[in-house]
Structure 1
Amino acid sequence: MSFKKETPLANAVFWAARKGNLALLQLLLNSGRVDADCRDNFGTTALMVASYSGYYDCVKELIMQGADINYQRETGSTALFFASQQAHCDVVKLLFEFGASTEFQTKDGGTPLTVACQYGHSKVVDTLLKNGANVHDQLNDGATSLFLAAQEGHVTVIRQLLSSGAKVNQAREDGTTPLWMAAQMGHSEAVKVLLLRGADRDADRDGSTALFKAALKGHNGVIEELLKFSPSLGLLKNGSTALHAAVMSGNLQTVLLLLGANSDPTLPSKNNQLPADLTKSDRILKVLRQKTVARES
């Protein structure tokens, strides 16, 4: 967290909050010469700093001295947002005891829940949900809390959100689903959980599916999970097949996985290219030829 102080006394209050120096903080606040809600030019308050740093006693002292729990920084962040971001669950609970709200958003639409999910703080997520956080919170681009957890592969959080009613197939505004993103990032366990909870295995973005992206990137663990749910192996809206992507990746194991699932090496792309036309690897060309001969016989 960066902030810019306005006065020497405010500077001292911020320092005490950042370092957890309760005695100095009390001395300054009790002097009557500095307000509990002193803030910098960006709207950062001492309560935000203490919450970000995780100093429970300093947070409580500031609250008892009248600090505004739900004050928003210039970016829209609150003390609860910062405590959630940094996984300070005890501070999160304390803020709730004194009326913290889960509804305030940052300029990009972020909430305490979205940021806790993004960073995988499962205990904080549990506390937020129990205190009224909306499981359907989403950023301005449409990314839901579930999407953010899937993007980072936070399996425990994914399970929490789904159990709380999160929509497994809710896409970002650009059409990207949680499953598609988890597959692209190589998070095989996240992919497994999403599929078991009803994720659309063939949901596509720009014509490519989760299997296509996993094949292109050589995420074999993800491919193994997807193949258990019989995804499309045929021509996709982008004009290619997952096998084309696997060959382009240059990963022999990826090619073997798809051939083992009966991908057709003789199926051309919309540009009339066979998978074999996309590689110079002798090992990949060999297995493609073997599969072609086997299919013809």
Structure 2
Amino acid sequence: MCRMSFKKETPLANAAFWAARRGNLALLKLLLNSGRVDVDCRDSHGTTLLMVAAYAGHIDCVRELVLQGADINLQRESGTTALFFAAQQGHNDVVRFLFGFGASTEFRTKDGGTALLAASQYGHMQVVETLLKHGANIHDQLYDGATALFLAAQGGYLDVIRLLLASGAKVNQPRQDGTAPLWIASQMGHSEVVRVMLLRGADRDAARNNGTSALHAAVLSGNIKTVALLLEAGADPSLRNKANELPAELTKNERILRLLRSKEGPRKS
């Protein structure tokens, strides 16, 4: 969702940002103690020293900056915070430390991103667990409607998906374009994710706004195991998308075609 920039404004700030990025605690302390570098100095994108240290996972530098008075909840121009960057990169020790000094899970990026969404998108299960324990909203969504569960399903992060579902995530919550977590997992060929979601009540025939079902997506991806799981769960091979295409019309894979044909006829309840 966001990337770090390291453009600096002055030679001393340049040195401080370098120290924070590389984890050079001695140099960072020297510069801060000189009184010539503000602990909350920013680059041209609003990035702070704390954000840089959190992104890199240098817990000693993070601790020094916080103890010297760094504002934990400052936002970059993109809306990102130190907590967001630590969560995105999977630095659970940094995330826990920041919570101890008042980090908030409520700040959003320009696309609606939160620390929980970032951690879920990159499969950082321990960070997701920590965030949820500290009040992160399981129902956070990007402005396009993607939830933490959707992002984890897209990446195929099964442990994160199980944690989110156990914490109350809605298995059928779609993006604004109608794409549900099951659909995106089917498209990506994450068959174990598909299996778990079906067991947790995912709508086997939920379609995007264009009428394309999870079975259409699985057929297009060419993942025979995903196709088989959906069919075994009762997905309907006779459903057409808005282009009037059947799933079987989207592939020349003989094994997948045989599977689909074996399920043709009256739909099983």
Q: TM-score range by the shorter chain?
A: over 0.9
- Whether 1:212 and 2:216 are equivalent positions in the alignment is yes
TM-score, scaled to structure 2 = 0.94
Q: Which amino acid aligns with 2:171?
A: V
SS of the residue corresponding to residue 163 of structure 2 reads helix
Report 1:134-213 matches (<5 A). 134-205=137-208, 206-213=210-217
Other-structure match for 1:226 = 230
TM-score, scaled to structure 1 = 0.85
Cα gap change, 1:24 to 1:219, in 2 (>3 Å):
same
Report 1:91-110 matches (<5 A). 91-110=94-113
Q: Which amino acid aligns with 1:259?
A: R
- Whether 1:254 and 2:256 are equivalent positions in the alignment is yes
Instruction: Give the CA deviation at 1:152.
Output: 1.0
Residues 105-143 of structure 1: per-residue CA shift (max 9 Å, x gap): 000000000010000000100000001100001101011
Other-structure match for 2:57 = 54
Report 1:4-153 matches (<5 A). 4-153=7-156
Partner Cα distance (1:35, 1:231) in 2: 60
Percent identity of equivalent pairs: 64
Other-structure match for 1:263 = 264
Q: Which amino acid aligns with 1:244?
A: E
Instruction: Give the CA deviation at 1:34.
Output: 1.1
Where does structure 2 lack aligned partners over 5 or more consecutive residues?
none
The count of corresponding residues between Structure 1 and Structure 2 is 260
Residues 28-79 of structure 1: per-residue CA shift (max 9 Å, x gap): 1111111110111110000000000000000000000010000000100000
Partner Cα distance (1:46, 1:83) in 2: 13
- Whether 1:242 and 2:247 are equivalent positions in the alignment is yes
Instruction: Give the CA deviation at 1:237.
Output: 4.3
Partner Cα distance (1:12, 1:235) in 2: 61
Partner Cα distance (1:2, 1:49) in 2: 9
